[in-house]
Structure 1
Amino acid sequence: MTQSIKVGVLNDMADIADLKDGDPGPGDVTGWLEREIEAVRKSGRLSAPVEFVHAYGLGLPSGTAEAVERAYRQLADAGVGLIVGPAIGDNALVATPLAEELRIPTINWAGAERARGRYMFHHQVGSHEDESLVMARHMAALGCRRLGVVYDISPIGTRHLKYLQDEANILGIAIVATEGISPLADDASEEAGKVLPAQPDGFVYLGLGLSAPGVAAALTGAEWKGPRIMNTAGLRGYHGSFAKACDGWFYIDMHSDSNRTLQAVMAELSAPRQQALAIAKGHDIGRLVAEGLARAKDFSREGVRVGLEQIKWLPAAEGEEGTLLGFGIQDRGALHGRYLVVRQWMNGETVEVTSQP
């Protein structure tokens, strides 16, 4: 196969006007794509040149859905055969109908299970549906029977809340109070003040995470001592002061200390354990792209779509040991098995918690 292919990288976490020259922007995965493509190239399974085309559209919640659509169409007009992104669930939902309309195979790496289709593939960096189930079961295992919830007023927060309520009903847990909050709020004292009088014995935050430190501060200010958990919003603890602000909180992560694939990659890179999440995520995204291209019979958009469907049973760096990576003819979720891991922020460090059934 001698033809070349363009791969689009859609960054929904930055506006190009805010980037310095040469700055790839937050969350850029191009290096991982290049690394895994080079690995299949060295194996002799891919000889064609691969060109990366970047587009930036600051999406929700800080930006707009229109910016994401503009960036997606920019990549389409550039003639890409595959798009990687968006990374935020709300924006993946914006991009999904575009992938179907324009028939461009796309791999989003977000938490929205609804962001799937014939052309939209989903690498689950969290899940609005699965995370809530894991959180409910973990709180049940801790003995909680009355949960209070503060959730972002957004597709992410409301979707999490629905699935948390469904699983809580099955487990015999009562959700005694819920309060919505702006995804951009930095003060949650009013919302927490409405939930705590219902006397919950466990507390849940659901959302993107920008408002989570405010929720944590409100509980601390109220001297509330019960167990507390949040969704993959807790991944923000890998940067800045978030981990300190949310000390003691359980949260859903994507990497496990037991994962041998992850440990092998980290050893190869001589990487510190603080980089485990970024490495697990980057490796798996890169491998999906590289394997999809290597398995494609041609680099038309249809050819790449079929190539992605041929990825089967690869060991994932994310999740617990045994998590598998792949797609299928009607399977658009990349991660299979126990890909969600309960961890806890303790004194600025992330600690894995024994998984619950």
Structure 2
Amino acid sequence: MPQVTPARIGLLMDYLDEDGGYDENILPVLQLVADQFADNGILERPVEFIVRAVQGLPNGSFRAVRDAFYELVEEDALVIFGPWVSENGVALRPHVENLGQVPIITMGASESMLGEWVFGLPAGSMEEEPIIMATVAALDGCRSVGIAFEDSLIGREYLRTTRAACAAAGINILAEVPIPQVESAKHTAMSALAAVSPDAVMHVGFGLGVIGMNAALETIGWMPKRYTTTAFEFAATSDWWRGQFAGWIGLDQFDERNETCRGFLDAFEARHGRRPEYFFPPYCYDVGRLMLTALATARPLTGPGVKDALEKVKMLPAATGAPGTRLRFGKYIRHGWVGSEFLVARRVLPDASRSELYATIEGLVDPRMAP
């Protein structure tokens, strides 16, 4: 029989850890999805994953991201997962749109990067996250906040939407202070917030600005309630990061109650002997099923065909978010989540030992109800 060329999926990873690596579960999760599709006869053609891992913004450069995109196109990728960071996605959008050959799915939160060829399955969005964060803070009884915003494209976009969200939730913003997007001393900024005595502190930005905030608050002897957006998901990546978020409440995508998520984790554990119970593996499972569904239904199997097939994905149960969250795209629909609880709020315990489910936009949650 003639050899069949694999359908190629590109992975553009634009945020690397301190060792230059990336999450160890992403490729095993995507391979699990590909094998499930093959075993179920949904996709007969073999699948190959092509990786480009570069350090984009904020710690690296956009040029590395741009070059990686074109390399993946030249490697015959039919769809690309990435970039992950909004600052890179916004800058990459003109290249993707002008080329008009390969669709990408990004987890970046900025709606400024969406387009005909750019699909968003964001870890929240800068328009929606502040609404959820402010709602949870109001449910907690907060009536005033001080905002620490990262002085960056992401931070200032979040700041704009957080102002509107707090106003809608009946929360008065008493002060706003910029903080660097890189690690630095936060004593001056936290002292400025403490001086106006808000009920809580809200952080908005990519997440690196949180580093040192707890330490600064402890130094000045003021430890109010603390809220953040999906920057909170850094808490799942290491014990050190969880320590930075000790006592914080933030937005996350992992909900132990989600049966689709539990089914995925059961399958992953059966294959690999471990159970990665945090936001990113279920998220990758959702992205993988979107991409494999599009490859299986694309007619013809080309970049434009895959783009059209992504637009036809409807009401796919999601492993991400609270029970009932689903996935869909469509003509002029580039935000993939369906449901008000695609993001939940979790809290890192004060001793930083673990995180627990805390709330959704619909109300506070008793963590004892989680399985």
Under a length normalisation based on structure 1, what TM-score does the superposition of the two structures give?
0.92
**What is the alpha-carbon distance in structure 1 between the residues aligned to residue 295 and residue 36 of structure 2?**
12
Q: Which residue pairs with 1:353 in the alignment?
A: 358
State whether structure 2 residue 58 is matched by structure 1 residue 53: no
Q: What letter matches 2:49 in structure 1?
A: F
Q: CA deviation at 1:245?
A: 2.7
Q: CA deviation at 1:262?
A: 0.7
In structure 2, stretches of 5+ residues that fail to align are: 363-371
**What is the alpha-carbon distance in structure 2 between the residues aligned to residue 292 and residue 336 of structure 1?**
18
Q: 2:78 aligns with which of 76, 81, 94?
A: 81
Q: Which residue pairs with 1:155 in the alignment?
A: 153
Q: Which residue pairs with 2:214 in the alignment?
A: 216
**What is the alpha-carbon distance in structure 1 between the residues aligned to residue 316 and residue 77 of structure 2?**
26
Of stretches 43-52 and 190-199 in structure 1, the one that deviates more from structure 2 is 43-52
**What is the alpha-carbon distance in structure 2 between the residues aligned to residue 91 and residue 126 of structure 1?**
16
Q: Is the 8 A contact 1:11 1:28 kept in 2?
A: no
Q: Is the 8 A contact 2:184 2:212 kept in 1?
A: yes
Q: Is the 8 A contact 1:37 1:289 kept in 2?
A: no
Q: CA deviation at 1:352?
A: 0.4
Matches within 5 A, 1:205-244: 205-238=203-236, 239-244=238-243
In structure 1, stretches of 5+ residues that fail to align are: none
State whether structure 2 residue 282 is matched by structure 1 residue 280: yes
Q: 1:123 aligns with which of 103, 121, 124?
A: 121
Determine helix, strand or coil for the equivalent of 1:114: helix
Query: Residue by residue, what CA displacement relative to the aligned partner does 1:38-63 show, whole Å, maximum 9, x if unpaired?
Result: 21222222112323222233111100
Q: Is the 8 A contact 2:142 2:171 kept in 1?
A: yes
State whether structure 2 residue 270 is matched by structure 1 residue 265: no
State whether structure 2 residue 327 is matched by structure 1 residue 325: yes
Q: Is the 8 A contact 2:230 2:250 kept in 1?
A: yes
Q: 2:314 aligns with which of 312, 315, 337?
A: 312
Query: Residue by residue, what CA displacement relative to the aligned partner does 1:192-222 show, whole Å, maximum 9, x if unpaired?
Result: 1222212211111111222213122212222
Q: 1:25 aligns with which of 19, 22, 27?
A: 22
Of stretches 151-160 and 267-276 in structure 1, the one that deviates more from structure 2 is 267-276
Q: Which residue pairs with 2:291 in the alignment?
A: 289
Q: Which residue pairs with 1:174 in the alignment?
A: 172
Q: Is the 8 A contact 1:266 1:276 kept in 2?
A: no
Q: CA deviation at 1:133?
A: 0.6
User: Percent same amino acid among aligned pairs?
Assistant: 28
**What is the alpha-carbon distance in structure 2 between the residues aligned to residue 63 and residue 209 of structure 1?**
16
Q: Is the 8 A contact 2:317 2:324 kept in 1?
A: yes
Q: Is the 8 A contact 1:14 1:58 kept in 2?
A: yes
Query: Residue by residue, what CA displacement relative to the aligned partner does 1:149-195 show, whole Å, maximum 9, x if unpaired?
Result: 11111122111111110011122221111111110023211111222
Aligned residues: 351
Of stretches 192-201 and 264-273 in structure 1, the one that deviates more from structure 2 is 264-273
State whether structure 2 residue 337 is matched by structure 1 residue 335: yes
Q: CA deviation at 1:28?
A: 6.8
Q: Which residue pairs with 2:252 in the alignment?
A: 253
Determine helix, strand or coil for the equivalent of 2:278: helix
Q: Which residue pairs with 1:344 in the alignment?
A: 347
Q: CA deviation at 1:4?
A: 4.1
Query: Residue by residue, what CA displacement relative to the aligned partner does 1:298-351 show, whole Å, maximum 9, x if unpaired?
Result: 211110101111111011011100000121112111111110100000132111
Q: Which residue pairs with 1:136 in the alignment?
A: 134
Q: Is the 8 A contact 2:265 2:276 kept in 1?
A: no
Of stretches 131-140 and 234-243 in structure 1, the one that deviates more from structure 2 is 234-243
Q: Is the 8 A contact 2:344 2:361 kept in 1?
A: no
Determine helix, strand or coil for the equivalent of 1:107: strand
**What is the alpha-carbon distance in structure 1 between the residues aligned to residue 297 and residue 218 of structure 2?**
52
Q: Is the 8 A contact 2:29 2:268 kept in 1?
A: no
Q: CA deviation at 1:272?
A: 6.1
Of stretches 29-38 and 264-273 in structure 1, the one that deviates more from structure 2 is 264-273
**What is the alpha-carbon distance in structure 2 between the residues aligned to residue 263 and residue 292 of structure 1?**
24
* Superposition RMSD in Å: 2.1
**What is the alpha-carbon distance in structure 2 between the residues aligned to residue 30 and residue 320 of structure 1?**
24
Decide whether aligned partners of structure 1 residues 37 and 298 sit closer, same or farther in structure 2, where only a CA change above 3 A counts.
farther
Determine helix, strand or coil for the equivalent of 1:211: helix
Q: CA deviation at 1:267?
A: 2.3
Q: 1:43 aligns with which of 22, 40, 44?
A: 40
Of stretches 35-44 and 265-274 in structure 1, the one that deviates more from structure 2 is 265-274
**What is the alpha-carbon distance in structure 2 between the residues aligned to residue 171 and residue 252 of structure 1?**
17
**What is the alpha-carbon distance in structure 1 between the residues aligned to residue 286 and residue 109 of structure 2?**
15
